[in-house]
Amino acid sequence: MIKRKQLKTRGKIRFSHYFKEFKDGDRVTVIRDLALHPKFPKQIQGRSGTIIGKRGNSYILKMNDLNKEKTYIIHPVHLRKLK
């Protein structure tokens, strides 16, 4: 689990990360940015899911937690697109 940022990137949020755009059906992974306080549980750090919609500036993410499908609303700073 990520505990600290590297010294060069500490306290910085690039605008390209802040204003990312995703489409419905995109596969993304959750990597929390420590400069912003995340509003999601720590146990989904590093997991992947699919985008099913957008709510305000954040995205609605569907992922499996054990055998249940769950939805989370996460800001795009904490999301990285999978190839």
CA distance 44 to 2: 12
CA distance 75 to 73: 7
**14 lies in a domain?**
no
36 DSSP 8-state letter = S
- The whole-model pTM stands at 0.83
**34 lies in a domain?**
yes
**76 lies in a domain?**
yes
**51 lies in a domain?**
yes
CA distance to 5, 36, 80, per residue, from 14 (Å):
14, 12, 14
Domain of 72, CATH number, reads 2.30.30.70
Instruction: Give the pLDDT score at 35.
Output: 81
**3 lies in a domain?**
no
pLDDT tens, position by position, 36-83: 877 778 888 899 999 999 999 999 999 998 889 999 999 999 999 998
**70 lies in a domain?**
yes
Query: What is the number of domains present in the chain?
Result: 1
- Residue 9 φ then ψ, to 5°: -105, 5
